[in-house]
Structure 1
Amino acid sequence: MTALLEARDVKVRIGDAAILHGADLRVRAGELVAVVGPNGAGKSTLSRAVSGLQKLEGGDVRWSGTPLHELKGRRIARLRAFIPQRAPVPAGVTVREAVELGRSPHIKPLGRPTRHDREAVDRALTRTNVFDFAERKLTTLSGGELQRVQIAVGLAQEAPVLIADEPTSHLDLGATASVARLLRGLADDGLSVILVVHDLALAAAVADTVVVMAKGRSAATGAPRDVLTKERLSEIWGVDAALDERGALRVNWLDRGYT
């Protein structure tokens, strides 16, 4: 199947620091790809670089075959929706008003929303289960509710690829499970999802493909069971852990003593 996103040998330098120096990422229609790795491995930088939000120093990034440097503004926004790790929560803005912003790539300057625009917003509100509080202010929402609203903003773009950078960070277990089920369900419905996440257990549970990042490079790519091996978990994360026969991550939390 043709890749919607194909990124090869991506390099990014920020100031004097080389953040990425050889990262690859590929996603096909209906695939959920989890990008994992230790802190500082370059996961979020990679997601921003392929989204056109971080300048590349080198490498080749193509969206549906078109080089990233040829895609500007509305064109790239119609191909991918990017959900940042910490989206702003402006005072006085309702859930519906926030989700309506997702239609910006489709509405011309000074143009008015069409019936299709309004229907796209309603579909996004319904799919993320936030329709019932669409008129509430963003500042009144819980962390889990806010995250589902951010996903709704992305869905309203009607882009074929949704990129979520750490959407479950700072969420409790229930909210994390809710977001995970939503993202998995979206992929099952045919949307391509790139999930940047620290939680290896979550990645193993929901992803079709896992990309392991280490020291600015993609160290391994494949099915969760094939890449999250006991040896790789020890090498990259320094832990005694493994996926069990059901695909759940088992960690020996007491394998190393404290001094």
Structure 2
Amino acid sequence: MKSESGTGAESGTGTPVGPGAGGVARLAARGVTVGYGGRTVIDDLDVAIPPGVITTIIGPNGCGKSTLLRTLTRLLKPARGTVVLDGDDIARLRTRDVAKKLGLLPQAPVAPEGLTVADLVARGRHPHQSWLRQWSSDDADVVERALAMTGVADLADRPVDSLSGGQRQRVWISMTLAQGTDLLLLDEPTTYLDLAHAIDVLDLVDDLHEGGCTVVMVLHDLNLATRYSDNLIVMREGSILAQGHPRDVITAELLHEAFGLRAQVIDAPVGDSPIIVPLGRTHV
């Protein structure tokens, strides 16, 4: 079933985004069907990622959130349909060219034992290296800036496996920044983090967005998703139920339809995002 993610006026060679999204999408899926082992997870899905904002994909376990993100980054090949990056079919692009445009932080990434922070972040420059272009002072400057932007410059000589969860996530984000891309896709960047470290990482994501990055995330915590997102994509059973600003999308009815969750939705005391208050049987 095709998703109801809205349409917009077409401009240039890009893909139109939904109403109010404010621009032509750099990244989009058109009629995408993806599955594993003969089981279809996403069926005939259309979605366009608005440029210059933070988009968060939410939905119940197994609904296809990470599958969609992995498809958008070409880690999964759709059985049907096309993923478009900057107007081109991503399947036809060289891996090196995709890596120059799009940075991905997968779930629970693992660094080789003993690798230092500086060495890991430097790996983000690999797409820019070739036998004609070796490591240069420009690469070193990019790595230094990426370390500074994520607040981990003082950890440069530390082994990655000696860091806390929040520090490691910052280091991995630093590596994606070293790729030199302004399009970042983060698959559950707050997994295994306590609330304080999760806020720390999402504040960093917000800073990167303010600096000009387009960000796409998968999150499980609904209240963090509404607080740190300009655009929500709500999924269920491989389809998109709703897409838009959290204040326009999140309702008690939608939460029940998407998650089977009984909840009240109230205004936040700060900001303009809604707060979701789950209702358990003992609290009604």
Conservation of the 8 A alpha-carbon contact between 1:240 and 1:255:
no
Question: Cα distance 1:90–1:110, how it changes in 2: closer, same or farther (>3 A)?
Answer: farther
Partner of 1:226: 248
Residue 276 of structure 2 is matched in structure 1 by: 250
Distance across 1 between alignment mates of 2:138 and 2:50: 26
TM-score, length of structure 2 as denominator length: 0.87
Distance in 2 of aligned mates of 1:28 and 1:172:
29
Contact 2:183 / 2:214 at 8 angstroms: preserved in 1? Answer: yes
Contact 2:241 2:258 in 1 (8 A): no
SS at match of 1:104: helix
| Deviation per residue, 1:157-201 (Å, 9 max, x gap) | 011210000010110011100011111111111100001111111
Distance 1:106 1:179, change over 3 A: same
Task: Return 102-111 or 43-52, whichever deviates more.
Answer: 102-111
Matching residue of 2:124: 102
Unmatched 5+ stretches in structure 2: 1-22
The CA deviation at 1:109 is: 4.2
Residue 189 of structure 1 pairs with residue 215 of structure 2? no
> Which SS does the other structure have where 2:26 is aligned?
strand
State the secondary structure of the residue aligned to 1:34: strand
Out of 75, 78, 101, the residue aligned to residue 79 of structure 1 is 101
**C-alpha separation between the residues in 1 aligned to 2:53 and 2:131?**
33
State the identity %: 37
Q: Which amino acid aligns with 1:215?
A: E
Q: Deviation digits for residues 46-85 of structure 1, max 9, x if unmatched?
A: 1111101111111221111111121121111111001000
Alignment of 1:114-129 (within 5 A): 114-129=136-151
Q: CA deviation at 1:120?
A: 0.8
Correspondence 1:138 to 2:154: no
Which of 195, 207, 222 in structure 2 is aligned with 1:200?
A: 222
Larger deviation, residues 167-176 vs 9-18: 9-18
Q: Normalising to structure 1: TM-score of the pair?
A: 0.95
Partner of residue 161, structure 1: 183
**Which residue of 9, 16, 24 maps to 1:2?**
24
- 2:195: which partner in 1? 173
Q: Which amino acid aligns with 1:197?
A: L
Q: Could you say what the CA RMSD is over the residues aligned between the two structures, in angstroms?
A: 1.5
When the two structures are aligned, how many residues end up with a matched partner? 257
Letter in 2 for 1:176: A
User: What's 1:35 paired with?
Assistant: 57
Match for residue 13 of structure 2? Answer: none
Letter in 2 for 1:29: P
Q: Is the contact between residue 102 and residue 153 of structure 1 (CA under 8 Å) also seen in structure 2?
A: yes
Q: Paired residue for 2:112?
A: 90
Contact 2:234 2:241 (8 Å CA) reproduced: yes
User: Given the superposition, is the C-alpha separation of residues 109 and 44 from structure 1 closer, same or farther in structure 2, using an over 3 Å criterion?
Assistant: farther
